[in-house]
Copies of this chain bind each other. A is one copy, B any other.
Amino acid sequence: MAPRPAPKRETRSTRDMILDAAERRFAERGFAGVAMREIATDAGLRNQASLYNHFRNKQALYEAVLARGLAPIVAVVSESGEAAESEVGQGAMRKDTIDAFLDRLLDYLEQHPHLPQLIQRAALDDVRHLRAAVPRLLRPIYAQGVHTLGQSDGPWQRTDLPLLAAGIYHLIFGYFASAKLLQVVGGGDPLSPGAVARQRRFVKKAVAELLGVGGRRRSGRS
């Protein structure tokens, strides 16, 4: 996906500047809502034509943005998944394993809060319009996630596991993706450090409940 001679490192290559700008814009307003001109301007180019030296067209740029944005998330998930697999044996997943995974994922999302928006938008669009790249990227971690969840100890049957995986995904990504809405409906900035920390604690507890590693069960607030 990245042919160019390898960046000299001194500054971000033009290609990366473009990807950065496009990522921000596409996350904010979606594929159709972004004009190539804005991306060019944001990337420090004086002219949209320059974009086409780096990406064949808008669609190709969009896909490159998605692939680049997805990669680290896929990495976090798959590394954590492998770690979890190797620990199993004690009968079920341990809470701290899960928490470690969630921490890594949320650390990354907190630093790249528009990625979930980008991904949700892609999920809403007809994915068949995307080249195979994206599905190919997602399918493996989806399968792995489902498999890893099989190690858990919740009240789940085999056929529930894909739904559980999707549910946890929505729990985590939905918060960031709907941040703008939450801000209007709730109040306060959902992306402020404090708010993200609260959400982090919430997600850990919620996932623990769902996976049946909730510990002090039933003694909750009483």
Contacts and interface: CB of A to CB of B under 8 A. Distances in A.
Contact of A186 (B142, B171, B220): B142
Interface string A204-222: 0110011010101111111
Contact of A30 (B32, B201, B205, B209): B32
Interface in A174-190: 174-175, 177-178, 180-182, 184-186
B163 A202 contact: yes
Interface stretch (A73-81, A82-90, A122-130): A122-130
A142 B202 contact: no
Given A32-B29, A127-B184, A170-B175, A220 B209 contact: no
A182 B167 CA distance: 11
B206 A212 contact: no
A29 B181 CA distance: 19
B164 A126 contact: no
Interface in A110-162: 117, 120-128, 135, 138-139, 142, 153-157, 159-160, 162
A155 B33 contact: no
Contacts of A159: 198
A10 to B, nearest CB: 25
A219 B171 CA distance: 25
A31 interface: yes
29 contacts: A29-B32, A30-B33, A30-B125, A32-B33, A142-B185, A142-B186, A153-B222, A154-B209, A154-B220, A155-B205, A155-B214, A155-B216, A155-B219, A160-B198, A162-B186, A163-B175, A163-B198, A163-B199, A163-B202, A164-B206, A166-B178, A167-B175, A170-B170, A170-B171, A170-B174, A171-B171, A209-B209, A210-B210, A212-B217
Given A162-B186, A170-B171, 14 more contacts: A30-B124, A32-B33, A120-B120, A123-B178, A124-B177, A124-B180, A155-B205, A155-B216, A156-B220, A160-B202, A164-B206, A167-B206, A170-B174, A209-B212
